[in-house]
Amino acid sequence: MIRQDLRQTSGVIFRIQKYSIHDGPGIRTTVFFKGCPLECWWCHNPESISPGLERAKPDEARGSVEPANWFAREVSVDQVLMEVEQDRIFYEESGGGVTLSGGEPLMQPEFSLALATACAERDLHVTLDTSGHGSGNLLGQLLKQVDLVLFDLKFADTARHKQYTGRENDRILNNLHRVDAQDTPYRIRFPVIPGITDTPASLDGIGSRLAGLQRKPEIDLLPYHSSAEAKYKRLGLEYRLQGLQPPSLQHLEAISARFRQYGLRTTGGQP
């Protein structure tokens, strides 16, 4: 049985999404952690970046802030488990489970470890969706509790990583090698942001980096779309990709072909 103090461990999340089908196998419940060390220009969850409790700008038309506009809440492991357990039948029928996402789960070490441990002890399939920017020791401990890692990789090049995410990527690349050296299954998630992550040099940088890994992970292509733009407005944040168009299917196929030259397989990629 998981220790009582772990069950009472609390963290800050901004959403629990049920019936999720894009965050790992089967039907899943995704727990979105609040706080991320990166600030990707294309982030679909800009409300996740700041670590604290915060709320949307008042709706100027209505002149008030509804409680539903709060972007975060503090929850204990027990409270999350109560919501997660409601859908156990769907996980069992679909091969699904729970996904720790964000934001960045590695930013809340005690909470992410306690939640992953609690889920694992209940025989729930656990997926960790991470940017890889966090403590290597914590990641090592989490790898023992989770069944799958979705590892986001944006750039192999440090300068471009810093330009478009605000942080260098040395820690991320070290953690990528750490994951590759363990047994836990993992996949790469590569955001296709036209003109930014998909230049020939960027693709070759990612391709040669992944080809050098022992396990040569599969890559999930995540095509850019602009659906988060309205959220930026609500948060009073600048949206730096205004007018950018999603990649075409043909372009995504060309990216897959380029990665295949490095012996890498891709999935996804429907614009």
Site string (129-148) toward ligand SF4, x via CB under 6 A: --x-----------------
Burial annotation 228-238 (CB, 10 A radius, 16+ → b, else e): eeebbebbeee
Structure tokens at 247: 């990649």
Does 97 sit near ligand SF4 (CB under 6 A)?
no
The least distance separating ligand SF4 from the CB of residue 190, rounded to whole angstroms, comes to 12
**C-beta closer to ligand SF4: residue 147 or 152:** 152
Residue 203: phi and psi, rounded to 5, are: -65, -40
The least distance separating ligand SF4 from the CB of residue 129, rounded to whole angstroms, comes to 9
Q: Interface residues for ligand SF4 in 196-255 (CB under 6 A)?
A: none
Q: How many residues bind ligand SF4 (CB under 6 A)?
A: 13
The Cα 228–Cα 271 span in angstroms is 15
Does 103 sit near ligand SF4 (CB under 6 A)?
yes
Contact (Cβ atoms closer than 8 angstroms) between residue 134 and residue 11: no
**C-beta closer to ligand SF4: residue 50 or 94:** 50
The Cα 153–Cα 144 span in angstroms is 22
Does 38 sit near ligand SF4 (CB under 6 A)?
yes
Peptide bond into 103 cis (omega under 30): yes
Find the part of the chain contacting ligand SF4 (CB under 6 A) among 32-40, 181-189, 219-227, 229-237: 32-40
Find the part of the chain contacting ligand SF4 (CB under 6 A) among 45-53, 56-64, 114-122, 223-231: 45-53
The least distance separating ligand SF4 from the CB of residue 91, rounded to whole angstroms, comes to 24
Upper half-sphere CA count for residue 146 (Cβ side, 13 Å): 31
The Cα 221–Cα 189 span in angstroms is 6
The least distance separating ligand SF4 from the CB of residue 164, rounded to whole angstroms, comes to 9
Which residue in 113, 140, 136 sits closest to 126, CA to CA?
Answer: 113
Find the part of the chain contacting ligand SF4 (CB under 6 A) among 2-10, 31-39, 58-66, 156-164: 31-39
Find the part of the chain contacting ligand SF4 (CB under 6 A) among 56-64, 97-105, 207-215, 253-261: 97-105
The Cα 27–Cα 126 span in angstroms is 12
Q: How far is CA 150 from the centre of its chain?
A: 7
Single out the residue of 12, 27, 36, 176 in contact with ligand SF4 (rule: CB under 6 A).
36
Does 192 sit near ligand SF4 (CB under 6 A)?
no
Q: Which residues are CB-neighbours of 42 under 8 A, at least 6 positions away?
A: 191, 193, 196, 224, 228, 241
Structure tokens at 231: 């959220």
Which residues contact ligand SF4 (rule: CB under 6 A)?
36, 38-40, 43, 45, 48-49, 102-104, 131, 152
